[in-house]
Chain A
Amino acid sequence: MQTHKYDTVIVGAGGAGMRAALESSKRSRTAVLTKLYPTRSHTGAAQGGMCAALANVEEDNWEWHTFDTVKGGDYLTDQDAAEIMCKEAIDAVLDLEKMGLPFSRTPEGRIDQRRFGGHTRDHGKAAVRRSCYAADRTGHMILQTLFQNCVKQNVEFYNEFYVLDLLLAEDEAGNKSTSGVVAYELATGEIHVFQAKSVIFATGGFGKVFKTTSNAHTLTGDGMGIAWRRGLPLEDMEFYQFHPTGLAGLGILLTEGARGEGGILRNADGERFMERYAPTIKDLAPRDIVARSMVLEVLEGRGAGPNKDYVYLDLTHLPAEQIEEKLPDITEFARTYLGVEPTTELVPVYPTAHYAMGGIPTNVEAEVLSDNTTVVPGLYAAGEVACVSVHGSNRLGTNSLLDINVFGRRAGIAAAEYATTHDFVELPEAPETTVVELIERLRDSSGTERVGAIRAEMQETMDANAGVYRTEETLKQALADIKGLQKRYLDVSIQDKGKRYNTDLLEAIELGFLLDLAEVLVVGAQNRKESRGGHAREDFQARDDENYMKHTMAYREVDAKGEHSIRLGYKPVVVTRYQPMERKY
């Protein structure tokens, strides 16, 4: 075992982690721990763009952007946070440009902007061109640019280090404070304890609870899982976004930018069905609405293909040059993985699990909360792992790349400031114990259960029972399945007993986190007897502001026998300017 000491430790090197590192490493001695080489992070998969009211191509302002973000989130968005994000968006984009990001340009040489779902002019009058982009690889360019600047700034990375535990000290009154993290080094199997004054979690999402997803295999919710096991709450976990246009059967994403460029969704009859569901902005309605509309088309028998189980994305009316120039990557995905030529053929698409609106609760300074208001000193979270909540119950496209830059930066500054004004908190005795036990249990187990089988069954039940539409019955089924799988997980064994590059072991650990989070998602969904944003209940189709315009806070409770259960509480939504209205597009 090795011990290290840093002022600030950042867990994760995606967009949020590296944006934080650029700030904190200037101000405090910083280490970035990441289970992937930084450039492998899934921020690199983001395609469509990052919104900011630059008004480079048409009139726009951050207040309109704030309104869209609040309405898009179906009024569960914390309005103070959304306002900060949309205001700081402009500098966030300009900062990236100055760092070298090669944005696509207007003829005048300015950063070009395009339309995106739910982003409108003057409170919903028409679609507005707000998304700054670099062809359809904006996330790739953000990830590369941030990494390049980390290289320039000599940021210290620990690559392929899996953080598996968070060290919190507790005083007699039960107040927590941060003392570090415990990591497992993939190359050697060695355990490393990192003592730190401040810790930032930037570990991304947990899309792998679902089978059909745009998320990477490595998005297993480790950060949320670790916080959860350490007794910290998770907020709004039932709100999971399904992106309308995943390649049918595969889940690989085709950006909403395709519709921003003029692409149209059609059912088997060739009908532009979004005209019926969102007469004003049609195919550019927010994702929750489009995804539900697509599912309804299929359920009502208007799906396409041999099993009538998908719809089409039509780009064939767009000039081939525009497709090649603005959407080169997704065109290639369609060609490679479905054998479809998007310039002349319709592309089969269906909703794919995409983004976690919920996560570790934070305030706008990115400080982690242990209940509705209490800050955990020294602990921060930013990016998809966090719930600020700027996305409410449904994130607008392009607002996550924005979120990771704005709140990544804020977390980096705040964590470094905290570190320079506070002392180290003493490490607990034998800080590695929990991780060592976790690893040894899996390595020594002679159980008969296999990781692959349990993971597949979890993903099947989540797709079938906790997807775009949910009912009491399906959620009950999902919960029963997950509980069963959690029991079987106790009997899981691995085949690789070695120390070096033991990915067998790590997949088993990741599955443990996924099972925890799947349960929280389903329990939250069962409790929320309304439909709002990304959470659609067939048995409660209306939004119910009276009873549910509040955030869900889930807490892990452990009884005397060591059995765990989930307790749900609520947190009020911060409302500043915008009173809830019916959501029409």
Chain B
Amino acid sequence: MTAVVEETAPGTGHGSTAAERDHTPIVITLRIRRFNPETDAEPYWQDFKVEADPTERILTAMMKIKAEQDGSLTFRRSCAHGICGSDAMRINGRNRLACKTLVKDLDMAKPITVEAIKGLKLEKDLVVDMDPFMQAYKDVMPFLITSGNEPTRERLQSPEDRERFDDTTKCILCAACTTSCPVFWSDGQYFGPAAIVNAHRFIFDSRDEGAEERLEILNEKEGVWRCRTTFNCTEACPRGIEVTKAIQEVKRALIFRRV
């Protein structure tokens, strides 16, 4: 332990990273795609200059704009650290959470573009209608299905069985994956990756007995076979879920049940 102790003196070794990071504020430009259906016929781009610490979140910069420059700028946000799924946006052409994207991770010299996620109806500025997305989620029966009498204590599940679906339990329903999927853009009826991820979470849970039913739903025309494995979803997922892999596993489950 002493080794660690000596290395922790301020400015040296352990723990110094944070202190050494550059906090000098700079002026960045956010180029935001605005739309207010009450007044605008079409969406348009508007530039805002705002002072930001490079280690700051894009969400923070947007909140500063709302507080100091234009109160009508509209977006959803809550937790501000990537766990509630409120603020998926298209930032510099890629779906991300504004609260998990730091200014320094983007090209600060150029305007940073911010627009609503695609494929869901645009309601205002960065707000889209989430209901169709939530409906697709509900359609895959995202809940534990069991039969027989409930045990008095907990159901047993080995750590290995628990691990089997760990990845897909992380989903925060932010829609970054589904709204980055070209199949979903061209066909809004497609369940989309997020719904399949949540079906996966139950299909591979050793306690669940509803796999058959769920697989039947996903086997339909707008189901898992529409996926063309473009990997956009996996790249977009702010929770690091291997979305494409989960979809592949569901496809495999379907084939093996069939054959």
Measured CB to CB, the residues of A under 8 A from B are 36-37, 39-42, 44-45, 93-94, 97-100, 102-111, 134-135, 137, 140-141, 144, 148-149, 151-152, 187, 216-218, 248, 252, 266, 268-271, 304-306, 308, 312, 314, 316-317, 329, 332-333, 336-341, 344-348, 450-453, 455-456, 494-496, 498-504
Contacts and interface: CB of A to CB of B under 8 A. Distances in A.
A451 B71 CA distance: 9
Given A137-B170, A336-B102, A504-B72, A39 B85 contact: yes
Contacts of A332: 240
A99 to B, nearest CB: 7
The residue in A42, A98, A503 that gathers the most chain B C-beta atoms within 10 A of its C-beta is A503
Q: Is the interface of A mostly helix, strand, loop or mixed?
A: loop
Nearest to A347: B15
B15 A102 contact: no
Contacts of B15: 304-305, 312, 340, 345-348
A148 B84 contact: no
Contacts of B158: 105, 107, 109
Given A270-B8, A316-B4, A498 B38 contact: yes
A141 B169 contact: yes
Interface in B202-223: 202, 205, 207-208
Given A141-B169, A503-B74, A269 B83 contact: no
A335 B216 CA distance: 41
Contacts of B72: 495-496, 498, 504
A268 B8 contact: yes
B66 interface: yes
Interface residues of B, number: 76
A498 B153 CA distance: 54
A306 B74 contact: no
A90 to B, nearest CB: 10
A97 B71 contact: no
B8 A339 contact: no
B83 A217 contact: no
B172 to A, nearest CB: 7
Contacts of A270: 4-6, 8-9
A339 B144 contact: no
Q: Which of B68, B134, B144, B151 has the most CB of A within 10 A?
A: B144
A218 B151 CA distance: 39
Given A494-B71, A504-B71, A102 B162 contact: yes
Contacts of A266: 5, 8
B124 A501 contact: yes
Interface string B7-37: 0111100110111010000000000000011
B159 A107 contact: yes
Question: Considering residues A93, A149, A501, which has the most beta carbons from chain B within 10 angstroms of its beta carbon?
Answer: A501
Given A42-B79, A248-B18, A317-B1, A108 B156 contact: yes
The 9 closest A-B pairs by CB, nearest first: A452-B67, A270-B5, A100-B144, A109-B156, A495-B71, A346-B15, A496-B72, A504-B71, A148-B143
A504 B8 contact: no
Counting chain B CB atoms within 10 Å of each CB, the highest count among A100, A333, A456 belongs to: A100
5 contacts: A100-B208, A107-B159, A108-B156, A111-B154, A148-B144
Contacts of B144: 99-100, 148
Contacts of A336: 82, 100, 102
B113 interface: no
B142 A151 contact: yes
A94 B156 CA distance: 11
A45 B74 contact: no
B159 A140 contact: no
Given A99-B144, A452-B68, A329 B83 contact: yes
Given A345-B17, A500-B38, 11 more contacts: A40-B76, A98-B151, A109-B159, A148-B143, A151-B138, A151-B142, A269-B5, A306-B19, A317-B1, A339-B21, A456-B67
